[in-house]
Amino acid sequence: MTAVAMDFGIDEALRALGIKDINDGTSTGSDFFSTGELIESRSPVDGALIASVRSTTKEDYNKVMEKATDAFKSWRKKPAPQRGEIVRQFGDKLRELKEPLGKLVSYEMGKSYQEGLGEVQEMIDICDFAVGLSRQLHGLTMHSERPGHRMYEQYHPLGVVGIISAFNFPVAVWAWNTALAWICGDVCVWKPSEKAPLCGIACQNIAASVFRKNMLPEGISNLINGDFTVGEFLSTDNRIPLLSATGSIRMGKIVAQTVASRLGKSLLELGGNNAIIVSPDADIKMTVIGAVFGAVGTAGQRCTSTRRLIIHSSIYNEVKDALVSAYKQLRIGNPLDENNHVGPLIDKDAVNMYENALTEVVKQGGKLLVEGGVLTGEGYESGCYVKPAIAEADNSYAIVQNETFAPILYLLKYSEDLEEAIAIQNGVVQGLSSAIMTNNLREAEAFLSCAGSDCGIANVNIGTSGAEIGGAFGGEKETGGGRESGSDAWKIYMRRQTNTINYTTSLPLAQGIKFDL
């Protein structure tokens, strides 16, 4: 792999993460060389080539799977608390390398440096959670209807877990899956986004160093690189009982059908079309803070980004004016400069989708309150910097019904009661994150009730972004129904087994059947 010296300390970050001196072709983090096609990693920050990485061939993939399946045989036998100790060391290594990894995330993906550091912190947090979990992989005991019998449930490792992650969170989502899978006794094969392959190599290097230090098999953590065709290696492989995939709804439907056709399990984290309901009893200042952060953070490229603001007509103009004023204060530029609020979109394709969405919302009857546009000139040479936009719209517009991965916020109005607002909130195919801004206890509870938000995440007086590690993360409807991270999300990485023990000298049969033997 060929690396190029960069400003902003990127060169030093690459060296610290073991990327700078990797030979051309070491795309999988394994001890063999790939002959696959080159993938260029270009930074959306300045358009510069960071490095070229070899794509994984089918031959490479089979070698990875051989190592993974072999490593699983020994890793599953290691007591869970001992597996937890390895994850603890991995978390400590992330603490040590938080700054260079956060900088690489920021530079390769384009999110702010603070967000890059925050993403690495999420990795550390899930490691801490997983370490505690390693002593709590509990089952259930049940009373048998037969005398002298005992029943219980226990959980066992699944095997090789496949992970396909998206560019917008190039390291954290992998860690959400991997830390839990490792604790559960599984091994992992990860295909990061082809738009952020260096983040994947950096994480593989970190993990591999921990496993080497503990004289454990290399195949516990595995990396493959490439586009959707490489992802198909995972989705069609019977050796992978669970495939966790993060991405678009379109991608998720293909993965789900392919995995289901071989009766495998899939964990899907797909698109979001997230809304905040702003009731007449909302705190306007808190509303503006939550809406702006949710809409422009990561340049609108989070699955939990705020896309829609559903505002009661009695306060509509007040909220609208406050938002327009707040947007005038946004600073757009190099995400490694902590004075900037908004960095670039991931690439030119994302810019084209952004421009198309702005054209479509006007064509479909909407009105731009804060006009967008692509920024040019000094500091914007990559062509990936755009202005966050606000548009008045209607929930029925086709463009509003779809998720555009860009900083576009649609203002929608409701005039009657909360039931109307909830109907608008739920009136999309996606069901990831939602929120209500209100100081009315009855409204808050109604929003969280079974007749309220139909999303996997529903918040009160905070925005749609910012999920914590302790709670299960995921959404309903066409968001896929998957759950990652906290709570009991660990159970999907294991197989459940029911056990019955007869500790008597007789064998009673079902339905009173008797054999005279």
Nearest partner of 330 among 283, 367, 295, judged by Cα? 295
Task: Identify the pLDDT of residue 33.
Answer: 55
pLDDT digits (tens, 9 = 90+) for 291-338: 999 999 999 999 999 999 999 999 999 999 999 999 999 999 999 999
Instruction: Between 508 and 151, name the one with better pLDDT.
Output: 151
Tokens of 273: 């079309």
Residue holding tokens 């490095």? Answer: 51
- Residue closest to 122 by CA, chosen among 493, 484, 457: 484
The conformation of residue 466, written as its DSSP 8-state character, comes to -
Does residue 3 surpass a pLDDT of 60? no
CA distance 421 to 277: 7
Band of pLDDT at residue 60, cut at 50, 70 and 90: very high
Q: What is the DSSP string of 206-220?
A: HHHHHHHHTT--GGG
Instruction: For residue 28, give Cα distances in angstroms to 14, 24, 171, 364.
Output: 17, 11, 16, 46
Pairing relationship of beta strands 38-42 and 49-54 according to DSSP bridges: antiparallel
- Of 36-40, 214-218, 380-384, 513-517, least confident by mean pLDDT is 513-517
Q: How far apart are CA 477 and CA 403, in angstroms?
A: 14
Phi, psi of 460 (to 5 degrees): -125, 125
pLDDT of residue 466: 82
Structure-token match 């493959």, residue found: 224
pLDDT at res. 196:
97
Over residues 142-159, mean pLDDT: 96
Q: For residue 119, give the nearest of 85, 94, 96 by alpha carbon.
A: 94
φ/ψ of residue 3, rounded to 5: -110, 155
- So what's the pLDDT on residue 508? 81
* pLDDT score of 24: 39
Cβ distance 105 to 111 under 8 Å?
yes
Measured CA to CA, the distance from residue 123 to residue 92 in angstroms comes to 11
**Distance between CA atoms of 471 and 323, rounded to whole angstroms?**
30
Distance CA 33, CA 114 (A): 35
Q: What does the mean pLDDT of the chain come to?
A: 94
- Residue 205 has a pLDDT of 96
53 — phi, psi (to 5°)? -125, 140
Domains of the chain: which residue ranges?
10-269+487-496, 274-469
Residue with tokens 């005039």: 415
User: What integer is the mean pLDDT of 465-477?
Assistant: 94
User: Does 10-269+487-496 carry CATH code 3.40.605.10?
Assistant: yes
What whole-number distance in Å separates Cα of residue 126 and Cα of residue 172? 9
**Which are the catalytic amino acids?**
269, 303
Classify residue 270 as exposed, middle or buried by CB count within 10 Å of its CB (0-12, 13-18, 19+): buried
Q: How many residues does the chain have?
A: 517
Residue 474 has pLDDT above 50, yes or no: yes
Q: How far apart are CA 50 and CA 40, in angstroms?
A: 8
**pLDDT mean over 269-296:** 98
In the chain, what percentage of residues exceed pLDDT 70?
A: 95
Calpha distance 438→280 (Å, rounded): 7
* Residue 20 binned pLDDT confidence (cut-offs 50, 70, 90): low
Please give the single-letter amino acid code of residue 125. D
Q: Which residues have C-beta within 8 Å of that of residue 142, sequence separation ≥ 6?
A: 151, 152, 153
Q: What is the mean pLDDT of residues 501-511?
A: 88
122: exposed, middle or buried (Cβ count in 10 Å: 0-12, 13-18, 19+): buried
For residues 192 and 37, give the distance between their C-alpha atoms in angstroms, rounded to a whole number.
16
The class level of CATH for 274-469 reads alpha beta
Provide the 3-class DSSP secondary structure of residue 424. helix
Q: How does residue 365 score in pLDDT terms, banded at 50, 70 and 90? A: very high
What local confidence, expressed as pLDDT, does residue 25 receive? 34
Is the pTM higher than 0.75? The answer reads yes
State the Rg of the chain over Cα: 25
* pLDDT band (50, 70, 90) for residue 190: very high
